[in-house]
Amino acid sequence: MAIAAISLWAIYQRRRRLQERLESRDALRRAAQELDATIAVRTQELRVANQALEGKYVTLQQTESLLRSTQNELVQAGKLAMLGQMAAGVTHELNQPLAAIRAFADNAVQFMRRGQLPQVEENLEHISGASAHMGKIIAQLKGFARKSGDAIAVVDVAQTVEAAVLLLRNEFRQQAVSIEIDVRSPVQVMGDVVRTEQVLINLLRNAIDAVETVEYVADKRVTVIVEHEAGEAVIRIRDSGPGIPDEVAPHLFEPFFTTKPSGKGLGLGLAISSSIVQAMNGRLSAHNLPEGGAEFIVRLPAPAPDPASAIHGDIIDRTRHPD
C-alpha cells in the first residue's frame, strides 16, 4: 500500500509540474502578446509624436526665417531713417566742396588767360582734393545705405568709428559739439562693417541729443574710446549731458521706448543697436558716469591686437579740425 501511495504521489507531482509549466508557458505567451501590443501602441505614439515634432520643427524654421527677414528689414528701415535725418547735413557737406570746385575752376580759367600756369596748377590741385572729398562722402553713403548680407568680414573698429563720425560731422558742427576719438589700442572684430557703423551712428546721434541742453558750448563734448580689454574690442561713447534718468534706464533698449519729442525718433535706434551687437556675440550696455553724463559701451569678441602696431592715446578731434 505504501509503495502504491508513493507512486500515486509521484504521478500527481509530475502532472502538477507539467500543469505549472503549461500555465507558465501560457503566461509567457500572453505577456509576450501584451508586450508586442504595447510596443505597437508605443511605436505608433512615437511615430505620431515624431510627425508632430517634424511639423513643429518646420514651423519653427519658417518662423525663424521670418523673424530673421523681419529683423533685417527693420535694420534696413533704421538705416534709411537715419539717412533721412542726416540728409540736410550731408547736403551741406557736399555743397561746400562743390562751391569750392566752382570757385577754383573760375579762378583757373582767369589764371590760364593771363598765362599764370603755376596758379592754374594750384587751383586744379584744389579741385582734385575737393572732388576726392566729395567722392569719399558719397562712397560712405552708398555703402551705408546698401542692404547688409550675412557675409562676415574683418572690421577695423577705429576706421568704422572714423566713418561714422564723418557722416555725422555736420551735426556735430551745427550743435557745436566737440568730438574726440581716442584709439588706445587698434583692434579688429569679425562682423558686418555696415551694421557696426549703424550701431555707432545710433549711439553718436544719441550722444549729440544728450548734450543739446548743456548751457555752455565748451561743455558740449562727446568722446569715443577704442581699446582692447580681456579678449574683447571695447568701444566707449561718452557724453557730457545730464545722464540717464533712473526711471528710463530699465527701458533703455526696449523697442519704441523714447523720451524724445514726437517727430524726433521712433525709439528703435537703441533696440536695433542692441540686436545687432547681440548678433555679433557682443553686449551693449549703458550707465551714468561719476563726473556726470552717460557712457554707452559696446563689447565685441576680438583677437589680441598686435603689440607692434599699438597706438596709445591717439586723440583725434574731428570737429575742431575737420578733414
pLDDT tens per residue, range 209-267: 899 888 888 889 999 999 999 889 999 999 999 999 888 888 887 766 666 655 455 56
Q: Would you state the pLDDT for residue 305?
A: 61
Percent of the chain residues past pLDDT 70, beyond the cut: 74
Q: Residue 192 domain-assigned?
A: yes
Q: Is the pLDDT of residue 73 over 90?
A: no
Q: Residue 255 domain-assigned?
A: yes
Q: Is the pLDDT of residue 54 over 90?
A: no
Q: Residue 117 domain-assigned?
A: no
Q: Would you state the pLDDT for residue 97?
A: 77
Q: Residue 241 domain-assigned?
A: yes
Lowest mean pLDDT among 65-74, 215-224, 307-316: 307-316
Q: Residue 146 domain-assigned?
A: no
Total domains, the chain:
1
Lowest mean pLDDT among 88-102, 144-158, 168-182, 257-271: 257-271
Q: Which residue, 146, 251, 243, 257, is CA-closest to 197? A: 146
The C-alpha cell that represents 186 in the structure block: 587698434
Range of the domain at 168: 153-323
CA distance 220 to 239: 8
What are the distances in angstroms from CA 89 to CA 96, 173, 175, 208? 11, 9, 11, 14
DSSP 288-314: E-TTSSEEEEEEEE-PPP-GGG---SE
Q: Residue 312 maps to which CATH number? A: 3.30.565.10
Instruction: Please give the mean pLDDT across all residues of the chain.
Output: 79
Q: Is the pLDDT of residue 96 over 80?
A: no
Q: Residue 82 domain-assigned?
A: no
Q: Is the pLDDT of residue 194 over 90?
A: no
Q: Would you state the pLDDT for residue 289?
A: 93
CA distance 309 to 306: 6
Q: Residue 173 domain-assigned?
A: yes
